[in-house]
Amino acid sequence: MQYGMIGYYVPHSIYPAGYHCNPQQPLPFASLASQKNYMSIYLMCTYSDPGQETWFREAWAKTGKKLNMGKSCVRFKKLEDLPLKVIGQAIKRVSVKKFISYYESATQGSSASRRRKC
């Protein structure tokens, strides 16, 4: 659990620097949260790479299901709204090494300026 969400994270044993907003927390990879009117799945592994996001949107469209995608989440009301195979493939497509590399390139700069964005 992190930030009130069930999640999969890159552990400190693999990425000791942790999450830039709070280095004591492991780096989030994918999470599931329950909001007041919907649930959300956060796929940081998808949002961190524009090519991966394009693939994800196209794969989702092929399922015929409606995509309700925010800047950092996919919102849904019931499990049947999700093409679970697409979500599984999206997670499988991004190795931890690739995710860390993109994460580091996206968060370069002073730690003080990065913390303000969180």
In sequence order, the β-bridge partners of residue 41 are: 32, 74
Q: What is the pLDDT of residue 47?
A: 81
pLDDT(2) > 80 = no
To the nearest 10 degrees (0 to 180), the angle between helices 50-63 and 84-93 is 160
Q: Is 115 among the domain residues?
A: no
Q: Which range is least confidently modeled, 19-33, 36-50, 102-116?
A: 102-116
Q: Is 118 among the domain residues?
A: no
| Residue listed under structure tokens 């849904």 | 76
Digit-coded pLDDT (tens) for 75-104: 999 999 999 999 999 999 988 999 898 888
What is the pTM assigned to this prediction?
0.79
Digit-coded pLDDT (tens) for 53-74: 899 999 999 999 999 998 779 9
- Residue 104 belongs to a domain with what CATH number? 3.90.1150
Domain containing residue 88: 6-109
Q: Is 91 among the domain residues?
A: yes
Q: Is 85 among the domain residues?
A: yes
Q: Is 114 among the domain residues?
A: no
Q: Is 16 among the domain residues?
A: yes
Measured CA to CA, the distance from residue 6 to residue 80 in angstroms comes to 19
Q: Is 1 among the domain residues?
A: no
Q: Which range is least confidently modeled, 32-41, 70-79, 108-117?
A: 108-117
Measured CA to CA, the distance from residue 16 to residue 55 in angstroms comes to 30
Q: Is 98 among the domain residues?
A: yes
Total domains in the fold of the chain: 1
Q: What is the mean pLDDT of the chain?
A: 86
Q: Residue 10: which of 70, 90, 96, 102 has the closest Cα?
A: 96
Q: How confident is the model at residue 110 (pLDDT cuts 50, 70, 90)?
A: very low
